[in-house]
């Protein structure tokens, strides 16, 4: 019988074709993340800076003896280490373009090369394993130019193991190279870091992951929508391996075509339209609609914790758009929602968005330690529907603080409960409680229940004031039901200066001459009728009373 001259790949393909389709198990199947692993520096995606530096080191003859590759999971650290090993041990090298068809390159790709040793730092972390490594360092490579040690998750080594490795790491034999890979470089001793050349691997961009996924589905002969691939790329959060694992999972679940509905069904997540519906219901302060959306998501299999995580991602994109960033910086919501996000950001304001993110983050932590995640989610979203307009309060405070002091007019704010009792001497304990309450009210991540229910108040149009401008200044604190809740402010007018940048000053500029100065009674009446001031008074349960200014 004549000897077969077919290549190993051809023989493997023929063997795979000979297996019956109804075979329940195929031991020869290789997952997508391994089959489409990069084999050369040109195939590295998202880490071009690392590939360029290593290629230049090879071409200029400046190859070090120890390298440290750091970065998150699935960004190409181990793949780059293998490519670097192939480049150093190439039969015609070292070269930055190794021959991928050589026996050495194929053995390194499969992890079977005798001169390139891959060690798992998590399971070989003791001093005994490092002593064995040191004993093998002195043995020259069998067929290659270098003996290369690739230690993955090197931060898992013990302190004694690191100490035993120091001398060998600093002055290894000329035929030995070390490549360390880790996801937590902070745990590596500084004595080891100083002996290595460090390369930081950045998360892979969504567009780069999306392009690679398109190449994979085209090679696999699978039809996929662009939106579905982009959704998988966003879900991977910068990890190329995670995106390929999710892609293979969705391909196994689908019926031959990948759609966004298939991805959401497989992953148990909510689509952008549902998240946007949540945001619109919260903006409209419709608690009933919010509860209905939660119930619908729960029926469709979306867990409360996953929904909170997605809402956090959605509001993160809303925050990014609110501060003026382009659609390319969105990581969770689709770029087609950029206009809607900008409109919502203008409607809510930056301070309100920050408060909602803080509330959702606290809720996520509580859900992970509770058996009643849905109840916690419902209560948090209902609190958001009753959240005061924090941005309006911040704007009115900024406008009042922009004017200078003038002791012409003064008013005070005191609680309604103590208006008739005349108690104005709070105890030390009441003062301490008041300071804690005021600090809590000033924090955007802690929100007290509002006394104002229903839809938000309509924002009052800007009032053009030529002169004077009222200003609120804190004076003496007062007590409210044995708890200090607010400070006594003093309101004083100040003439508008030329070229002032405050909103009130800008509104007052014009060709008409300024009106005559207003009396104290008129100024106090304007303060009392301001809707934002009334809202604050209702929240803190206080009222405005007359106070004689100090002489």
Task: Encode the chain (551 residues) as per-residue pLDDT tens digits.
Answer: 333 344 444 444 443 343 333 334 445 788 999 999 999 999 999 899 999 999 999 999 999 999 999 999 999 999 999 999 999 999 987 999 999 899 999 999 988 899 999 999 989 889 999 999 998 998 999 889 999 999 999 999 999 999 999 989 989 999 999 999 999 999 999 999 999 999 999 999 988 999 999 999 999 988 999 988 988 988 888 899 999 999 999 998 887 788 888 888 887 777 788 899 999 999 999 999 999 999 998 888 888 998 999 999 999 999 999 999 988 888 888 788 889 999 999 999 998 999 999 999 999 999 999 999 999 999 999 999 998 888 777 777 666 555 544 444 444 444 444 444 444 455 566 555 555 655 554 454 444 444 334 444 444 444 444 444 444 444 444 444 433 333 334 444 444 444 444 444 444 444 455 566 666 667 667 777 777 677 767 766 666 665 555 55
Tokens linked to 273 = 């339209």
Which residues have CB under 8 Å from 517's CB, separation 6+?
Answer: 467, 468, 493
pTM: predicted TM-score of the whole model, two decimal places: 0.62
460 Cβ contact partners less than 8 Å away, ≥ 6 residues apart: 530, 531, 532
Beta strand residue intervals within 47-205, DSSP E? 66-71, 116-120, 147-152, 176-182, 197-201
| Matching residue, tokens 């023929």 | 14
pLDDT tens-digit readout, 79-126: 999 999 999 999 987 999 999 899 999 999 988 899 999 999 989 889
Q: Among residues 477, 465, 446, which one has the least CA distance to residue 506?
A: 465
Q: How far is CA 27 from CA 15, 24, 30, 34, 154, in A?
A: 12, 10, 8, 15, 31
- Domains in the chain with CATH codes: 32-201 (3.40.50.300), 206-267 (1.10.8.60), 272-387 (1.20.272.10), 392-452+463-546 (no CATH)
Q: Which of 205, 386, 387, 234 is nearest to 309 (CA)?
A: 234
Answer yes or no: are the C-beta atoms of 154 and 140 closer than 8 Å.
no
Instruction: Say how far apart CA 313 and CA 322 lie, in whole Å.
Output: 14
What tokens appear for 173 in the block? 């034999």
pLDDT number for residue 4: 39
DSSP string, 438-500: HHHHH-TT--PPPS--SSPPPPPPPP---S----EEEEEE--BTTB---EEEEE---PPPTT-
- Tally of residues, the chain: 551
Per-residue model confidence as pLDDT tens digits over 483-526: 333 333 444 444 444 444 444 444 444 445 556 666 666 766 77
């Amino acid at each position: 019988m004549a000897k077969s001259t077919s290549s190993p790949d051809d023989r493997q393909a023929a063997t795979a074709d000979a297996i019956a389709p109804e075979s329940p198990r195929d031991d020869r199947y290789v997952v997508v993340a391994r089959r489409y692993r990069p084999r050369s520096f040109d195939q590295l995606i998202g880490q071009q800076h690392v590939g360029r530096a290593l290629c230049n080191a090879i071409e200029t003859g400046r190859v070090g003896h120890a390298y440290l590759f750091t970065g998150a999971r699935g960004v190409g650290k181990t793949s780059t280490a293998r490519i670097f090993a192939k480049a150093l041990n190439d039969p015609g090298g070292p070269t930055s373009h190794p021959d991928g068809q050589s026996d050495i390159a194929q053995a390194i790709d499969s992890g079977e090369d005798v001169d390139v040793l891959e060690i798992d730092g998590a399971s070989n972390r003791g001093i005994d394993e490092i002593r064995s490594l040191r004993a093998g360092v002195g043995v020259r490579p069998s067929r290659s130019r270098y003996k290369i040690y690739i230690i993955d998750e090197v931060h898992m080594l013990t302190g004694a193991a690191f100490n035993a490795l120091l001398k060998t790491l600093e002055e290894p034999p000329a035929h030995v190279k070390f490549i360390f890979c880790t996801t937590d470089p902070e745990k590596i001793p500084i004595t080891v870091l100083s002996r290595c050349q460090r390369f930081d691997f950045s998360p892979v961009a969504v567009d780069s992951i999306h392009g690679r996924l398109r190449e994979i589905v085209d090679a696999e002969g699978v039809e996929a929508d662009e939106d579905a691939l982009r959704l998988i790329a966003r879900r991977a959060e910068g990890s190329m391996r995670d995106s390929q694992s999710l892609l293979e999972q969705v391909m196994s679940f689908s019926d031959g075509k990948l759609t966004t509905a298939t991805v959401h069904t497989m992953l148990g997540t909510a689509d952008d339209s549902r998240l946007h519906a949540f945001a619109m219901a919260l903006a409209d302060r419709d608690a009933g609609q919010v509860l209905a959306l939660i119930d619908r998501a729960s029926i469709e299999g979306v867990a409360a914790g996953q929904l909170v995580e997605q809402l956090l991602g959605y509001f993160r994109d809303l925050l990014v758009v609110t501060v003026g960033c382009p659609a390319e910086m969105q990581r969770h919501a689709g770029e087609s929602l950029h206009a809607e996000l900008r409109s919502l950001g203008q409607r809510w304001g930056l301070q309100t968005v920050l408060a909602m993110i803080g509330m959702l983050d606290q809720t996520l932590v509580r859900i992970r330690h509770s058996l009643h995640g849905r109840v916690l989610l419902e209560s948090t979203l209902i609190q958001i529907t009753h959240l005061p307009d924090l941005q309006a309060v911040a704007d009115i405070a900024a406008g009042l603080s922009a004017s200078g002091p003038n002791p012409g007019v003064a008013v005070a704010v005191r609680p309604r409960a103590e208006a008739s009792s005349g108690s104005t001497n709070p105890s030390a304990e009441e003062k301490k409680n008041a300071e804690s309450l005021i600090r809590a009210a000033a924090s955007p991540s802690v929100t007290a229940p509002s006394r104002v229910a229903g839809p938000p108040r309509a924002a009052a149009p800007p009032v053009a004031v030529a002169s004077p401008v009222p200003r609120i200044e804190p004076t003496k604190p007062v007590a409210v039901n044995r708890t200090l809740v607010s400070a006594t402010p003093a309101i004083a007018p100040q003439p508008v200066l030329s070229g002032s940048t405050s909103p009130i000053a800008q509104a007052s500029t014009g060709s008409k001459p300024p009106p005559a100065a207003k009396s104290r009674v008129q100024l106090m009446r304007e303060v009392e009728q301001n809707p934002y001031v009334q809202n604050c008074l209702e929240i803190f349960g206080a009222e405005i009373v007359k106070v004689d200014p100090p002489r």
